[in-house]
Amino acid sequence: MTVDRMLPTAEAHDLLDLTRELCERELAPKAADFEARGEFPREVIRTIGRSGLLGLPYPEECGGAEQPYEVYLQVLETLAGTWLAMAEAVSVHTLACYPVYAHGSEAQRKMLPDMLGGEMLGAYCLSEPQGGSDAAALQTKATRDEDGHWVVNGTKAWITHGRDADFYNIFARTGGPGARGISCLLADAGTPGLHPQKAERVMGLRSSAPSPIVFDDCRVDADRLVGAEGQGFTIALEALDAGRLGIAACAVGLGQAALDYAVSYAREREQFGRPIADFQGLGFLLADMATQVSAARALLLSAARLKDAGRPFSIEAAKAKLFATDVAMRVTTDAVQVLGGAGYVSDHPVERWFREAKVLQIVEGTNQIQRLVISRSLVRD
């Protein structure tokens, strides 16, 4: 089905057309194979970057496309409907560019054209084995040596692009306990002491499996401190607010793809001499799926328009992430049910989409954390 979109400009319509063409030409023919092999398609990311889709929300002077967030998110949605791992990769990379864009020094910002153009892929190193939701309790430490370099020791977990990134945002403790003791450092791939580990054996998104990263006396130049010392946690939260919208967009795209496939199957599959779509029980299931996906998209775009208008949007981003990812899980589950036994085998993509949907309820802050954020905002004075 074609989604009836209200886009702000003719340029945005052209951008969505370009994205659909890219999906048909470069993503759709490769997705199933790379997922089955669990191989990261680095060249596909370069193609996406060279098409101008890795820097959409960033200003033109930095190498971006200066598009509103509501447009960028609909591009993500379109990518996710074809290959979720690539949409998630774009979302994480956009997140990884934020610290340098918003808080980087003049020298650091000179890297932005390559970051936003697809030549450099980023990783965002915040989560740790003992602390995901409680990010302020991170234990990775960075201390200065006699030459002024930062020496980083610790382990990060669940790092998207961990084995493939060209640059790493490292959130490490440079001061005392709590959020105020955390700083952000920027390290290049190949920095001595930065050791990506074997990729995790994951349920879904196998072509972009995360990996732990061990920092063993990793020496980062003093001029690679991003922002001020002790500002790292603030930088992390700023980036995550926007990142939650990215994950919500991925969820909407995945849900739309599952809905479209289920409808198409229900029209063609016959039982008792009729297409199964004619049976009210299944028709009502499809109606609920369609309503949930549309509601998730509306909530997402409402939050995006607040961000574009320069208004507070973090609580609305939490709502959008919570609702859209729960919808993706329900809709992919129902799509498997529509296909019956056929939905349980890998001959049909709904099996893969069902597995992939689960991770969206976890990344960029679990949905339990989103509920905590929202509930606290309701009772705050």
pLDDT at residue number 132: 76
Closest CA to 289 of 349, 332, 321: 332
Residue corresponding to tokens 């994951």 = 202
- Phi (first) and psi of residue 113, to 5 degrees: -55, -40
Q: Give the residue-averaged pLDDT of 227-238.
A: 96
**Lookup: tokens for 115:** 């970051």
Query: How many other C-beta atoms lie within 10 A of the C-beta of residue 43?
Result: 10
Side chain identity, residue 72: Y
With bands split at pLDDT 50, 70 and 90, how would you rate the model's confidence at 130?
A: confident
pLDDT attached to residue 381: 61
Spell out the residues 6+ positions from residue 376 whose beta carbon is closer than 8 angstroms to its own. none
Structure tokens at 356: 């992939």
**Cα torsion at 318, 322, 324, 325 (round to 10°)?**
130
Q: Dump pLDDT digits (tens) for 269-279.
A: 999 999 999 99
Catalytic site residue 119? no
Across-strand partners of 154? 215
Distance, in Å, from the CA atom of 200 to the CA atom of 362, rounded to the nearest integer, reads: 15
Residue 113's pLDDT band (cuts 50, 70, 90): very high
**Neighbouring-strand partners of residue 195:** 214
Cα 102–Cα 244–Cα 296 angle in degrees, nearest 5: 140
Question: Is the C-alpha dihedral spanning 47, 51, 53, 56 positive or negative?
Answer: positive
Distance between CA atoms of residues 243 and 169, nearest Å: 15
